[in-house]
Structure 1
């Protein structure tokens, strides 16, 4: 029998709690065990129930902003937290991730993406919305964990990037790929731009780390 995912919801608006509960309860393999309206109530209920995932609003009545998230991740560091907030992703998401959140969604999200986010963080992977992904530099640890580099680089750029990670010089790469050193230099510049890096030295280090799985 498939394990049921036990979910907690913390939001100070009853209509939001009810709406989220309806979506989750209508999804196979999920159930809502906690629906808290305040930070104090949430902590009290987390002591009584074994929860798999917490969906957290940042604007709880008794503890606003990121304070509730910081408190929860401090007391329950292994509990995956999905922030669902009206606050703009580009302003709050990175800060939320730094405080221990595993996912961040704006409340304008549709039901299918909410369920996708829950399944993603259930497996221990961070979830970033498509909107947020467009604003994050690839070089951040968060983006590195959630986006395949092959989605960023072309096939030829990926070949050059891999050879850079192997410590090959532009001349050596040119010989291997039967291209001119000038063309390889152009590819290097494109890769630096696409990965939002700042120098060839940073590119070489990043390529080595990526290839080594660091």
Structure 2
């Protein structure tokens, strides 16, 4: 008898969670053991249930998807994580993989692709949505001539970059990330220097150009 794949769903939209739960539980040998509306609760439920696969969104209130991935991987380096996101772009796929995810698909993906991705990630293999995989392959071939300026940022700097581009103040970012406003200001200054930016308008333009927001 084939072992069931236990799944944890983390997404802040109840309708999305309900839809994916139905899809997955109607698939043979898949079972959703828990679901959460944010990364903090999702991280706790991971420790409690130790699911085979964790499926999560990137844009959520609180710590967000990338930090959730890092927390889960810190607890269990072998955790199998699949990102499903409205942000269907190479930058976020790369960031997700670097944080520790094994898979990345968009919420526009078909039913078959979600099921295939879960099975692949559960087996410890990387799964990237076909369109993004092709772009990543091209970028890898031309990495010296097509450098992404955001790649020079640290994980924390990129996290703050994204929150700034979304319109958050340093105080709001400090509250979201549970760090001091002074620490946020230091990271802010560093990322502005690295990207050679003079103001927030330029920062937002890069975020748009790189499909971060």
Give your verdict on TM over 0.5. yes
- Shift of the 197–109 alpha-carbon distance from structure 1 to 2, 3 Å rule, reads closer
How far is 1:71 from its partner?
1.9
Matches within 5 A, 1:67-146: 67-137=67-137, 140=140
Could you tell me which residue of structure 1 aligns to residue 158 of structure 2? none
Give unmatched runs, 5+ long, in structure 1: 141-194, 199-214
1:104-160, CA deviations, whole angstroms, 9 ceiling, x for partnerless residues? 0111111110001111111111001111122113685xxxxxxxxxxxxxxxxxxxx
Looking at structure 2, the residues matched to 65 and 139 of structure 1 have their Cα atoms a distance apart, in angstroms, of 24
* 8 A contact 1:58–1:83 mirrored in 2: yes
Could you tell me which residue of structure 1 aligns to residue 2 of structure 2? 2
Q: Could you say which structure has the larger radius of gyration?
A: 1
Higher relative contact order (CA 8 A, sep 6+): 2
Looking at structure 2, the residues matched to 48 and 66 of structure 1 have their Cα atoms a distance apart, in angstroms, of 20
* 8 A contact 1:88–1:106 mirrored in 2: yes
Helix, strand or coil for the counterpart of 1:32? strand
How far is 1:47 from its partner?
2.1
TM-score normalised over the length of structure 1? 0.63
How far is 1:14 from its partner?
0.1
TM-score normalised over the length of structure 2? 0.63
CA RMSD of aligned residues (A): 1.8
Matches within 5 A, 1:23-62: 23-62=23-62
Looking at structure 2, the residues matched to 47 and 75 of structure 1 have their Cα atoms a distance apart, in angstroms, of 8
Looking at structure 2, the residues matched to 69 and 96 of structure 1 have their Cα atoms a distance apart, in angstroms, of 8
Aligned residue pairs: how many? 144
Give unmatched runs, 5+ long, in structure 2: 145-213
